[in-house]
Copies of this chain bind each other. A is one copy, B any other.
């Protein structure tokens, strides 16, 4: 057996059943070895998961901007980053538990810096724009992934907003009562955020 084998097998288990299913005993069973052998190769569970996260992060491909206008291109980076994170369902949770969200930003950061520069932003304002977009994306994905595994919500937006017409705005009440389309909402909020960031300084 091999440190490589341990990591690969662990990655398979995580991919299939999530990080919480990765117990040292289950991993040992899958490897066909004693539990304690694992410790020789990876130290302990914590550093095993660290290695898994690092490896997944390293495998994420470059992010490229598309679109014509600067605003479109910055927004496209945000969408691509979100796509990447959603494509690795357990990555976000693992990174979050490990406090490594900053590390998760890096792949997109260089691209964002470039596009924000193209848009004419410089210095501190450019840095703020880059970080604002990054945090928005990661935060959005965190909330989004969270909603997926959410149980039925009590009180629930539906009950609250169907009964009482929200300030006489039936369409709004229906929209808030209805399900949330994360894809559309993300597109809207990123467009708004980027417009605000690239727009005239306050």
Interface residues of A (CB under 8 A from B): 96, 99-103, 106, 109, 113-114, 117, 122-124, 126-128, 130-132, 135-136, 138-144, 146-147, 149-151, 153-155, 157, 160, 166-167, 169, 171-172, 175-176, 180, 184-185, 188-189, 191-197, 199, 202
Inter-chain contact A188/B128, CB cutoff 8 Å = yes
Tell me the smallest distance from the CB of A79 to a CB of chain B, in Å: 15
For the complex, give the distance between the alpha carbons of A139 and B136 in Å.
7
For the complex, give the distance between the alpha carbons of A10 and B167 in Å.
40
For the complex, give the distance between the alpha carbons of A14 and B17 in Å.
29
Tell me the smallest distance from the CB of A101 to a CB of chain B, in Å: 5
Q: Chain B residues with Cβ under 8 A from A146's Cβ? A: 96, 99, 101
Tell me the smallest distance from the CB of A25 to a CB of chain B, in Å: 21
Tell me the smallest distance from the CB of A141 to a CB of chain B, in Å: 8
Inter-chain contact B124/A172, CB cutoff 8 Å = yes
Q: Chain B residues with Cβ under 8 A from A171's Cβ? A: 122-124, 127
Inter-chain contact B172/A100, CB cutoff 8 Å = no
For the complex, give the distance between the alpha carbons of A63 and B103 in Å.
34
Inter-chain contact B142/A96, CB cutoff 8 Å = yes
Tell me the smallest distance from the CB of A200 to a CB of chain B, in Å: 9
Inter-chain contact B117/A180, CB cutoff 8 Å = no
Tell me the smallest distance from the CB of A168 to a CB of chain B, in Å: 9
For the complex, give the distance between the alpha carbons of A110 and B150 in Å.
22
Q: Chain B residues with Cβ under 8 A from A122's Cβ? A: 169, 171-172
Inter-chain contact A167/B113, CB cutoff 8 Å = yes
